[in-house]
Amino acid sequence: MQNSSEASGFCLTEILDNLDCTDLLHSLDGGVLLLDAQCRIIFSNRWFCRHTGFPESDMLGQTLNQLFPEQLPLPLQDAIETACHQRLGRILSYQLHKRLLPLQRRTPSGELQPLHQSILIKPLSQSELTLVQCLDSTNAVKREQHLRAGERILKLERRVLELIATGDSLDTILDELCTTVEQLIPSASTAIMLLDESGNQLRIKSAPGLPSTFARREDSLKLGSAITTCTRAVQLRTLAVTPDIQQDESWRPWVESAERLQIAACWAQPIVATYDEVVGVFACYPQTTGSPSESDRQLLQRMAHLAAIALERHRRMERIRFLALHDPLTGLPNRSLLNEHLGRNLRRAHREGHQFALMFIDLDGFKQINDQHGHDAGDDLLSVLAGRMTEQLRGTDTCSRIGGDEFVVMLESVQSPESAIQVAEKILRCLSTPVQRGQLSLQVSASIGIALYPHDGISADALLTCADDAMYQAKARGKNCWHRISH
Amino acid sequence: MDLFSADEHDLIVELMNLGVGRAAHALSQLVSDEILLSVPRLEFISIPEAQKAFHNDLPPFLAGVMQNFEGFINGRAALLFPEARSLELVNAMLGEELSADEITELEQETLAELGNILLNHCLATLANQLQQQIKTDIPLAFSTSADELPGTLNLHHDDDENTLVMLVQIDFSLRNSALRGYLAFIIDLHSADTFVTALRSYLAELL
């Protein structure tokens, strides 16, 4: 009795012997042609007939050159002839020959599209025939394009993340993001717009590829007044697409300038920060009409996300910087920031030869308020008085809190000692005005020491010491007054 | 190996240079950029020597293209590269700046065509100049380790006596990329007689 492997071996041989080779070639998912020594087609499988549109009878006896007159690229003609005449096997790869045979294939939705292919040409042994095999690479090409695009995005994303991590300026990072998208969506300009503090107006923050005239037009992007692609993105919190701005009513006022800049469409992706807060828009302006492809959408999403990260980081840094340089209770600059401003003002005053004033202010009777009414009352009082003092000053002056109830005011420039004295008197008045806290009326006064640059000192230390000494003398003279040490 | 005289050896080197030069021309046209190829060294060695040379000279992982040939000489030809750099070569050919981490099927085909053009030109030039016939099969791209290379190239010890390896160093230079590869022609010695005869008659005609 035969064992099973022998039986199946026997069967296999028999099956293979009886296999209809022609049937097999017809059922292949790929093109097969047999050419004779004169390059004429002597067999074509059904795949070829399907993708060329020629019935087999039209193909037989013809060369590919006759079948597709003046359509075959030279390398293909050359490879076929070399194979048929000189018997050299060839491969023609898709990447080196983007166009080979003019074949088409149907997409699942029924559209005809060019068939990307590679071709193998094999001279057969023991005969003069040459086998031409055509492989459909369309899907491989798609995969490859996808892969390459993914790699490019990753690489560019990495660069942006590096910029964010190394603490490059926000402008640099946002410009880089715009440039990145412009590289990946060719012939499109981009802009990053941010909502202003009121949350009502979009302002261009970055648009490296667009002229400044364009930046001005977007300046008028008020939410609520006009609905544009970008404002829609903010309101709907999702990608807004205007495929053709010529057809869009809201674009009417800017159609001309858009034409000049070859802007045909607008895609706007909202930039969403933490807590789902929309902080701006990533706008993309392609030169051709149309909607973004799936990969364009993903790209815009990812870049808007990176912009959100960069903005978030920038905000945090600003916050950290603010906290490091301001007094948490009153929000006034602290000693560090005062020193910074003082140093800068000294250099400027020295350079420009102007005078400026420093006032050391110490509250009179603040300790009693704290003792009698508690620290909360004292804190509230300090906050109110800080606000009042700031109101007496110009934006360029500095009012800082440097200790419990000690403040230093720097008047950035003064015409004369008298103008400093006037400010000191205004401060004395505003500080001694009672502060109402519920039923309670809290009142303190202040002693102020004044020092003037350059008369009373030309260094920060000298000026501060002089003002401090003057303040003590004001205290000694009965408080609620100012004093300047006469030299 | 002293199968060939010094003159015959020189002639083979010259013909290989000619073939490689033609391949460089064809490749340059294909990618519209200048590709330079040169042959700094050529040697005939036995299979055990070839295995030793592969082991010593080649990096541990290789990418290559292999093609069978038959005619006045029979055997198998292969183009071999350090695997890590084969992708760089494909990218340089395509003018791509980015390099993927892994070679895709399309890039395998491109590499196969590169090897195909090179091997065909070398073999066809050899045959044409010697007024002989040669037929080549379609190329096959592969990746392998240096240790598995003899198996991949189908070098068998029991055939040692009947097989000769022509190992050719080849230097590529294109678009700021330069790399060294190897061409290995594994020649069935049963056909070597025709080869020697053809070389001799070519040299005789020159005199």
Task: Say which of A92, A144, A151 has its CB closest to residue B113.
Answer: A92
Closest chain A residue to the Cα of B110, Cα to Cα:
A93
Long-range contacts of B174-181 (CB under 8 A, 24+ apart): B174/B31, B174/B33, B174/B34, B174/B35, B174/B36, B174/B92, B174/B93, B175/B33, B175/B92, B175/B95, B176/B92, B177/B88, B177/B89, B177/B92, B179/B81, B179/B82, B179/B85, B179/B88, B179/B89, B181/B79, B181/B80, B181/B81
Q: How far is B169 from chain A (nearest CA, A)?
A: 23
**Is residue A475 within 8 Å of A419, Cβ to Cβ?**
no
- Residue B118 touches chain A, beta carbons under 8 Å: no
- Residue B134 touches chain A, beta carbons under 8 Å: yes
- Residue B64 touches chain A, beta carbons under 8 Å: no
- Residue B95 touches chain A, beta carbons under 8 Å: no
Summary mean pLDDT of chain B = 85
In Å, how far are A64, A66, A282, B118 from A69, measured between CA atoms?
Answer: 8, 5, 49, 29
Residues of chain A positioned with their CB less than 8 A from the CB of B110: 93-96
Residues of chain A positioned with their CB less than 8 A from the CB of B98: 148, 151-152, 155
- CA A410: distance to chain centroid? 40
Asked whether the beta carbons of residue B109 and residue A123 sit closer than 8 angstroms, the reply is no
Asked whether the beta carbons of residue A87 and residue B90 sit closer than 8 angstroms, the reply is no
Task: Say which of A75, A87, A121 has its CB closest to residue B30.
Answer: A75
With a CB cutoff of 8 Å and minimum separation 6, the contacts of A219 are A203, A204
Closest chain B residue to the Cα of A153, Cα to Cα:
B98
Which portions of chain B are predicted below pLDDT 70?
1-2, 97-102, 155-160
Rounded CA-CA distance A473/A481 in Å is 10
Residues of chain B positioned with their CB less than 8 A from the CB of A148: 96, 98, 100
Asked whether the beta carbons of residue B30 and residue A96 sit closer than 8 angstroms, the reply is yes
Between chain A and chain B, how many beta carbons pairs sit less than 8 Å apart?
81
Task: Say which of B90, B109, B124 has its CB closest to residue A91.
Answer: B109
Closest chain A residue to the Cα of B108, Cα to Cα:
A93
Q: How far is A77 from chain B (nearest CA, A)?
A: 14
Q: What does the pLDDT profile of chain A (487 residues) look like in tens digits? A: 445 555 556 688 887 777 788 888 898 889 999 999 999 999 999 999 989 888 989 999 999 999 999 999 999 999 999 999 999 999 999 989 988 999 988 877 888 888 999 999 999 988 899 999 999 988 888 888 777 777 778 888 888 888 888 878 888 889 988 988 888 887 888 999 998 888 788 888 888 888 776 666 655 555 555 678 888 898 889 999 999 988 888 888 778 878 888 889 999 999 998 888 899 999 999 999 999 988 889 889 989 999 999 999 888 888 998 999 999 999 999 999 999 999 999 999 999 999 999 999 999 999 999 999 999 999 999 999 999 999 999 999 999 999 889 999 999 999 999 999 999 999 999 999 999 988 889 999 999 999 999 999 999 999 999 999 999 999 999 999 999 998 7
Closest chain B residue to the Cα of A95, Cα to Cα:
B110
Angle at A298 between CA A292 and CA A301, to 5 degrees: 100
Can you tell me the ipTM of this complex? 0.89
Asked whether the beta carbons of residue A90 and residue B109 sit closer than 8 angstroms, the reply is no
Instruction: Enumerate chain A positions whose Cβ falls within 8 A of a Cβ in B.
Output: 75, 82, 86-96, 118, 120-123, 125, 137, 140-141, 143-144, 147-148, 151-152, 155
Angle at A143 between CA A307 and CA A100, to 5 degrees: 125
Rounded CA-CA distance A174/A156 in Å is 13
- Would residue A159 be called left, alpha or beta, if left means φ above 0 and alpha means ψ between -120 and 50 degrees? alpha
Rounded CA-CA distance B156/A378 in Å is 97
pTM reported for the whole predicted model: 0.64
Helix A138-165 to helix B105-129 angle (10° resolution) is 120
